[in-house]
Amino acid sequence: MSGEKLRAAKTGIGYVVEQKMEQNYDREEAAGTPTHIINWMNAICDGEHDPIPNTDWKGFNTHLKDGVMLCKLINKLLKADGKSPIQFQKKVMSPFVAMTNIENFNKGCESYGLAKEFTFQSGDLVELRKAGFFNTLNCLSSLGMLANTKEVSPKYQGKITKTVDME
């Protein structure tokens, strides 16, 4: 167990929900959503933040979990929309600072016009779980689509994936 955090395994309904969220992430990955988000974020934050190097979910999650790139992204969008930027800390020395950055990103998203239901909890990034990261992916995809309605360039290339849960 080289450095991995130990946590109790989910059981019952918690297990079922986590499995569904992981399947949702896998479906979005197959549709290319993470690649579209990464390409868009890297283009928007070009020159202001190190680019996200690959589409592996763990690497993508780890790149975002301090909240700095998220805050830079939303500040670029807010500026283009004529709105005030959010505050954030660029040097993240503790998980609490990272969580504050993520909370500020979410507030910035709401100020930009994204419905609160599309935001995510800081734990979705900090805990490094695929099921939780699906919420982050959903938020960023929704933010990209909202930015497209505001004519932000470069455009987000992701599509809405429609599915029906038959269970």
List pLDDT tens digits, range 14-39. Answer: 788 788 888 988 999 999 999 999 99
Residue at 161 is within a domain: no
CA-based nearest residue to 108, from 145, 153, 151, 139: 139
What range does the domain containing 121 cover? 22-149
Report helix, strand or coil for 54.
coil
Are the C-beta atoms of residues 70 and 98 closer than 8 Å to each other? Answer: no
Task: Give the chain's largest Cα–Cα span.
Answer: 49
**Side chain identity, residue 85:** P
Q: Which CATH number is 33's domain given?
A: 1.10.418.10
Q: What is the DSSP letter of 86?
A: P
Task: Give the pTM.
Answer: 0.87
pLDDT < 50 positions in the chain: 1-4, 164-167
Which pLDDT score, from 0 to 100, does residue 6 have? Answer: 52
CB atoms < 10 A from the CB of 111, how many?
16
Per the structure, the count of domains in the chain is 1
Q: Is residue 155 part of a domain?
A: no
pLDDT of residue 161: 62
What's the first-to-final CA gap in the chain, in angstroms?
35
